[in-house]
Structure 1
Amino acid sequence: MRYSTQVKPISYLKANAAEVLANLAEQREPLVITQNGEAKAVLQDVASYESTQETLALLKILAIGNEEVAAGKLKPAKDVLKRLKSKVVDA
């Protein structure tokens, strides 16, 4: 994705807010907003934002898992499965 095609000054956003929001929802590409020639903010549609947050959460879980493996915090799979099966039966 090329962000260079998705860069607009804040004045454009102010003058075309409804159109910008419609384009964000349709194209699902972020829009970089500049102020005085500098990038200041990134706008994106809600669905893309939620997807990004879910992806970050999954990556965080993976990173925590990797840290636990590196620290030797491991349990045999058969023990984990046994515990899970007992919880399902109890429920």
Structure 2
Amino acid sequence: MRFSSQIKPTNYLKANAANVLLQLAERREPLVITQNGEAKAVLQDIASCEENQETVVVTPKCCTGVLLGL
């Protein structure tokens, strides 16, 4: 995934918070927030975040089964 099109400064986030949240939900792509020209945070819609958390929980269980030959 390329972040280059989804990079905004903190001032943009402050001025357009409602619009940013709508775009996050529609596009389901993370948004990199910069401060003084440096990446400082990543915003993500809640559905994508929940999917990522489920993947993190399932992956170790799958790996354990493979290692044990299950």
Q: TM-score, normalised by structure 2?
A: 0.89
Which aligned pairs between 1:42-81 and structure 2 lie closer than 5 A? 42-67=42-67, 69=68
Which aligned pairs between 1:1-91 and structure 2 lie closer than 5 A? 1-67=1-67, 69=68
RMSD: 1.6
Residue 64 of structure 1, CA deviation:
2.7
Residue 60 of structure 1, CA deviation:
1.6
Q: TM-score, normalised by structure 1?
A: 0.70
Q: Deviations over 1:37-91 (max 9, x none)?
A: 1111110100010011111111121223344x2xxxx6xx8xxxxxxxxxxxxxx
Residue segments in structure 1 that go unaligned for 5+ positions in a row: 78-91
Structure 1 consecutive aligned stretches of length 4 or more whose deviation exceeds 3 Å: none
Structure whose CA Rg is larger: 1
- Secondary structure of residue in 2 paired with 1:32: strand
